[in-house]
Structure 1
């Protein structure tokens, strides 16, 4: 079977399924001397926000001769440089909207406060082939007033000189008719800072401005309630603006205590409360020395953003097959190497090239996912490209240019971490999602990078979170050779008691016994590859079962446990508990998958083939929704044949999959999921 795949790849370097390329027409503008974003926006009749959207780095400033991408002029866009006075319309009278890149019916429904079905109904003929960039659609409104998002360039401070005083006007606040107050977002501002300035909660700010729920662009004009806290204070010869009071000196009724959890950082905690790191440190000066597990912090009361409860299985129920999407797979076939190999035959190469075998297995699973997507009617064009990669080299830069990967709705691959990060960096300006399919490493973070494989640290953290969630007593037996594990426990799992070893660095049953508690489950975390230490520890645990509840735990795979000296019965009696990327699945669907794969490929699917199916099918499902890819990541989990996809935002940028199973050996010699 693999010979057949390789021979087909020799003739077809790129496999394309229903391919139709997108064409986004942008103008390139070279920055001239003295130009600002506002001036450039006025020149092209767009808004500063439109420019920031395509050129994220421009928020930090623009340099002479740098090149900016400018979107096409939008005559009737939902964004305007000045507030529009919308005259009342009869109920149901629609407005128009020019569709921008990456917009969906779901995002437009949220922007205009109407249902997806209402937009579809008003554009039945136009949307036959799905929503496309550049279309002008009608947006109905039941209230008669079309809600618009108003964007303006940050206003400049105006300085008026008086004989005895200098008065600086408030640059970010303006009053409109009807006592509505507007605030323009400036660089480095946060939801927390703005909400406090106007005596609001973050929830109130988001309710008034739905556009900032998932985004917070500089230059956006917000509707705020009340007046800013700043008041002029007269000092001798000048009048100066009093800064809003720091949260650190607010009265206690506005603060509450928060206990730092495992793996949390200053950045992640600040993000959860809608603050900057500086604002959190102002409340808690002790954070200047770093954050520690169990530390009690002062945080704004009621401001924590509760994690969104993700729904399982909604992706399959809510598919949208109207809009056509594009997906590219970058897989390391390295066909040029196969063609130039005059020494080894294809069969000989397959016997010794493990990386090629892994690639072909992943590819075979991906093809089954594509076939399943077609059966379900998903409307996705797919390109399969040869990434020609090694650990240190790849052709992703060329592929990105030649195949216009920035026009794709998502890209899976390459395999190696350095290469997938390079591609994410190239495609970050267009926010094209890049899914890393196999790498467990973590390196540079990009806002459009999705790590589908949980890292070792995530695996370790998940098992401790499970044990603590059960209220267990956690102790650890750590081999002297496992210094890094000991350091990890001391730095990240401070509540874990590490038992002492003898003078000869061997296990002592008495040292374990004194750490056990009779009223709790005692989780014994074993970190050793020594057969002798494993046998000694498990012998003691089996003896202690008469008086204590004990369960054996490992944090990561341990091949020593597979040796004949350590019987399976021993491990089942102690109900070995461990984190896993995959689960055993005996469902009807899983058995049908195995049978179909075997029929096509004459073999049972291995872990890489199943991984290829699971990653590809999860991505195809997410592309086949009304929501954007990122919105599905934030709202929906997915569970496929063996793998679970539960993406969470990193503390800086991008997303990591925390889809980890906690499994155990049961006494019937089966592996089950712990609950």
Structure 2
């Protein structure tokens, strides 16, 4: 009886307005939405729509809205029975997914179709739209008191309406399925290529072009609609991922989900990005978040974390958005190992500096960091900097729980130590405080912690960046790999089946060249004789083919006197690099300032010391949290990019890589 009365009751929820003196007036700010306003006053969008019916058509800046007082109990007069029903205004939200229908959602949440439509009037007008956020009416305890006066006749009428709605919904489902069996429609987004779209749907580029003839001759355009034939296409894995992110499986809380303890400084925004959910999706899983995020809260979150793409970030100049409001603390942990040299004479120190490469690297990094600190002072950044000797070698360091408690517990960011094992140990000690630890130089990582940031891109990242670049070009990809480099051959065949593998002969390689498009020839060998033969053959082939030479890993043999650098320039040798040569005015200023302080120009470690330290200080000096800048902003300093992606197991990796090539003028330039 109660469930049918809810249908009847929901009719009056929209038309009711409370006493004026019980409401609060709110003036809409620029860009503010009803959902944001509802969260601010701890009410639901339905509450606001009830008092402000015109708001359903959107709100403009400076509009005055009536907001019901918090946790207000509404008395709703029932026209039919003259009785009074007490209803609490507690709701949920739901993000619409493909193939969902109003009836199916009503059934999923144990409410009626009328409830859903009254809470979301746009459903009647335009139907459901994928990505639309719906208000799901109801209460936490699900109790709505029904009057005894509801008659059998009304109950039977409600039943008929429900069955009619169910039939209509089934017709809609069948129509959607029929359409899906005919084709899928995909909208092109930035950085899409024919290769990436065909790979996403498990079809060939030829099949994609056959269904969409216009893309054979024209390049893809953002927003362009492409038809994907479902008879050959597999399900879009990205779409599956979105489904997993936005619609938690409430019925299996212990199957697909786990618990997470909220750490200090975490926000709803950073948590939603960390677990691959929208903020509404995270709140739907954890209703207690409606009142704010608090340290120590236990949240229900997905076991698997969706990895955010690093390619969807814009490179940002953070000097343009500096906030000086809060005082921050940056700590540098550098391996000076002062205790080892305190008793040395001047001559012994000079000898040590000549022989101790690790100490020289430390001092270079430190000298670059000092320039970054001076630059921060010039900008007026509100940051205290502390520097400690980490006293580290490969086997040991000064890092201990006592050291961390005394020196690092109030830090906002820690840069160092240098050795990966000690950086991980530091991250472990600071993990509960959620203090970011930046590993400045190491490419290794074994133990992963959510607060550990790897600044050095790995060799796998470099190879991945190169193939991302090559696959955008719709070119002919050929690889000639030395049998001794079995791991490279396996990597290519496992991850990039579109690459044609040549036998380890020049003739085989030449036989795979295509005349109608660019040929990228990936050469992986350290055999000088073979390198010379491949280069000679490709230089000769340039008369008839478009050819460019590519390497995936650094190759010292290319720098030997036996290899002609002019031939490498003719073939525009293409490679991935962590750093680049920067000829901008800003880079020139850094070099000039550094030379004035140190009487020499900066080397790679000095420049990295500047880049890592300055980038950390700029991220600390924003309105956002440090972690939020990691999610939102890729940055570029003098020689290094910082474009972080969250790892599935925890922590963050830098995917900031340059694709460089030899220009025919023998200079090195960045490929676009």
The two structures share one fold, judged by TM-score above 0.5 = yes
Structure scoring higher RCO (CA < 8 A, sep ≥ 6) equals 1
* TM-score under structure 1 length normalisation: 0.59
Q: 1:372 to 1:574 in 2, by over 3 A?
A: same
Aligned mate of 1:487, from 473, 477, 490: 490
Aligned mate of 1:595, from 575, 592, 596: 592
Note the C-alpha offset of 1:444. Answer: 2.4
Note the C-alpha offset of 1:313. Answer: 3.1
1:112/1:146 contact within 8 Å kept: no
Q: Distance in 2 between matches of 1:653 and 1:191?
A: 29
| Residue 377 (structure 1) aligns with | 380
3-state SS, counterpart of residue 384 of structure 1:
strand
Q: Distance in 2 between matches of 1:200 and 1:492?
A: 43
User: What are the within-5 Å matches in structure 2 for residues 490-501 of structure 1?
Assistant: 490-501=493-504
3-state SS, counterpart of residue 384 of structure 2:
strand
Q: Distance in 2 between matches of 1:225 and 1:442?
A: 45
The structure richer in helix per residue is 2
Aligned mate of 1:388, from 374, 391, 396: 391
Larger-gyration structure (1/2): 2
Q: 1:350 to 1:270 in 2, by over 3 A?
A: farther
| Residue 608 (structure 1) aligns with | 605
Note the C-alpha offset of 1:402. Answer: 3.9
Note the C-alpha offset of 1:490. Answer: 1.9
Q: Distance in 2 between matches of 1:394 and 1:200?
A: 60
| Residue 430 (structure 1) aligns with | 433
1:329/1:411 contact within 8 Å kept: yes
* 1:424-450 deviation per Cα after TM superposition (whole angstroms, max 9, x unaligned): 122121211111111112322221111
Note the C-alpha offset of 1:180. Answer: 4.3
| Residue 316 (structure 1) aligns with | 319
| Residue 475 (structure 1) aligns with | 478
Q: 1:402 to 1:448 in 2, by over 3 A?
A: closer
Q: Distance in 1 between matches of 2:605 and 2:37?
A: 39
* 1:12-40 deviation per Cα after TM superposition (whole angstroms, max 9, x unaligned): xxxxxxxxxxxxxxxxxxxxxxxxxxxxx
Q: 1:183 to 1:588 in 2, by over 3 A?
A: closer
Q: Distance in 2 between matches of 1:415 and 1:198?
A: 53
2:309/2:645 contact within 8 Å kept: no
**1:664 and 2:661 matched:** yes
Measured on the aligned residues, the alpha-carbon RMSD in Å equals 4.3
3-state SS, counterpart of residue 546 of structure 1:
coil
User: What are the within-5 Å matches in structure 2 for residues 497-646 of structure 1?
Assistant: 497-501=500-504, 508-646=505-643
Note the C-alpha offset of 1:404. Answer: 4.6
3-state SS, counterpart of residue 429 of structure 1:
coil
Q: 1:89 to 1:404 in 2, by over 3 A?
A: farther
Note the C-alpha offset of 1:574. Answer: 0.3
User: What are the within-5 Å matches in structure 2 for residues 60-209 of structure 1?
Assistant: 88-91=23-26, 145=67, 177=87, 180-182=90-92
3-state SS, counterpart of residue 431 of structure 2:
helix
3-state SS, counterpart of residue 522 of structure 2:
strand
1:413/1:437 contact within 8 Å kept: yes
Note the C-alpha offset of 1:392. Answer: 2.9
User: What are the within-5 Å matches in structure 2 for residues 20-99 of structure 1?
Assistant: 88-91=23-26
* TM-score under structure 2 length normalisation: 0.60
* 1:303-336 deviation per Cα after TM superposition (whole angstroms, max 9, x unaligned): 9988784333341111001211111111111111
Q: 1:306 to 1:417 in 2, by over 3 A?
A: closer
Q: 1:491 to 1:261 in 2, by over 3 A?
A: farther
| Residue 464 (structure 1) aligns with | 467
Q: Distance in 2 between matches of 1:224 and 1:673?
A: 49
Q: How many residues align?
A: 452
| Residue 411 (structure 1) aligns with | 414
Aligned mate of 1:345, from 329, 345, 348: 348
Note the C-alpha offset of 1:637. Answer: 1.6
| Residue 221 (structure 2) aligns with | none
1:198/1:224 contact within 8 Å kept: no
Q: Distance in 2 between matches of 1:578 and 1:176?
A: 70
Q: Distance in 2 between matches of 1:268 and 1:410?
A: 34
* 1:139-184 deviation per Cα after TM superposition (whole angstroms, max 9, x unaligned): xx985659999xxxxxxxxxxxxxxxxxxxxxxxxx9946643489
Q: Distance in 2 between matches of 1:110 and 1:443?
A: 45
Runs of at least 5 residues in structure 2 that lack an aligned partner in the other structure: 1-20, 29-35, 42-62, 72-84, 109-118, 120-132, 143-173, 187-196, 202-235, 253-280, 282-305
